[in-house]
């Protein structure tokens, strides 16, 4: 969806995250059956839906980064806080802005890597703002999100190894047969009320988005 205001891009992102969280909640509440004539809804199915919910939010995050980057490039500013931003270029319109940030020889701009986004921001905005102050202090969080996203989308040995290391770092061990969905459903230690990893991650990425668009 093309946006013409930064607030609209933020609202669209928040709506996608909220819908994804509701899907995860619904997946937890559906009855998990073990037999009978009805089609069975199993824990595996629940975990698959949770993975889909996370991936849907992550794609919305990438879209949010692209939309806001373009809007800042063409001179848009947040309504609540019209911060002074110095942009090094003056694109004529949205399409021209997209052409400027498109790497030579590539068909699309990569928004998956937070390091690349920060580097790109510094090329076009003084101090890389507002992306630098929003992303750079939270690279650990964003890299964890990327690892989980890749483990869902790629299913490669490299992605699996990085995911397993993340699980070890978070849980202190690697449970046998753990899936991305079951990890996302695992409760974050010492949270009151109890909070699943998926909600923890999506709540925090919402905060980051609100720093980019106050």
- % of the chain with per-residue pLDDT over 90: 79
Cα distances (angstroms) measured from residue 187 to each of 35, 71, 123, 126, 141: 28, 37, 40, 40, 17
Read off the pLDDT band of 82 (50, 70, 90): low
Average pLDDT for 204-210: 97
How confident is the model at residue 84, as a pLDDT?
A: 72
What distance in Å separates the CA atoms of residue 64 and residue 10, rounded to the nearest whole number? 7
Residue 19 has pLDDT above 70, yes or no: yes
How confident is the model at residue 148, as a pLDDT?
A: 98
How confident is the model at residue 68, as a pLDDT?
A: 97
How confident is the model at residue 153, as a pLDDT?
A: 94
The model's pLDDT over 53-63, given as tens digits with 9 standing for 90+, comes to 999 999 999 99
How confident is the model at residue 108, as a pLDDT?
A: 85
* Burial of residue 180 (number of CB atoms within 10 Å: 0-12, 13-18, 19+): buried
Between 116 and 103, name the one with better pLDDT: 116
Nearest to 43 by CA among 177, 168, 189, 202: 177
How confident is the model at residue 100, as a pLDDT?
A: 92
Residue 34 has pLDDT above 80, yes or no: no
How confident is the model at residue 80, as a pLDDT?
A: 74
CA dihedral sign of residues 90, 95, 98, 102:
negative
Contacts of 68 (CB under 8 A, 6+ apart): 6, 9, 10, 212, 213
Position of tokens 């905060």?
207
- % of the chain with per-residue pLDDT over 70: 93
Q: Within 13 A of 38's CA, how many CA atoms are on the CB side?
A: 7
Read off the pLDDT band of 204 (50, 70, 90): very high
Q: Give pTM, 2 decimals.
A: 0.92
How confident is the model at residue 85, as a pLDDT?
A: 84
How confident is the model at residue 83, as a pLDDT?
A: 67
Read off the pLDDT band of 4 (50, 70, 90): confident
């Amino acid at each position: 969806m093309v946006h013409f205001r930064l607030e609209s891009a933020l609202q669209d992102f928040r709506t996608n995250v909220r819908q994804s969280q509701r899907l995860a909640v619904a997946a937890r509440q559906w009855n998990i059956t073990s037999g009978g004539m009805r089609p069975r809804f199993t824990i595996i199915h629940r975990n698959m839906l949770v993975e889909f919910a996370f991936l849907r939010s992550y794609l919305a995050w990438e879209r949010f980064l692209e939309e806001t980057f373009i809007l800042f490039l063409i001179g848009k500013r947040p309504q609540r806080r019209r911060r002074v931003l110095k942009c090094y270029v003056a694109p004529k319109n949205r399409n021209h802005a997209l052409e400027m940030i498109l790497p030579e020889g590539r068909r699309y701009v990569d928004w998956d890597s937070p390091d690349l986004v920060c580097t790109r921001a510094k090329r076009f905005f003084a101090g890389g703002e507002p992306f630098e102050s929003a992303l750079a202090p939270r690279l650990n969080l964003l890299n964890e999100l990327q690892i989980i996203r890749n483990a869902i989308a790629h299913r490669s040995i490299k992605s699996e190894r990085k995911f397993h290391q993340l699980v070890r770092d978070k849980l202190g061990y690697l449970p046998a047969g753990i899936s991305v969905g079951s990890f996302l459903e695992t409760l974050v230690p010492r949270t009151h009320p109890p909070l699943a990893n998926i909600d923890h991650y999506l709540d925090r990425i919402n905060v980051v988005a609100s720093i980019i668009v106050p």
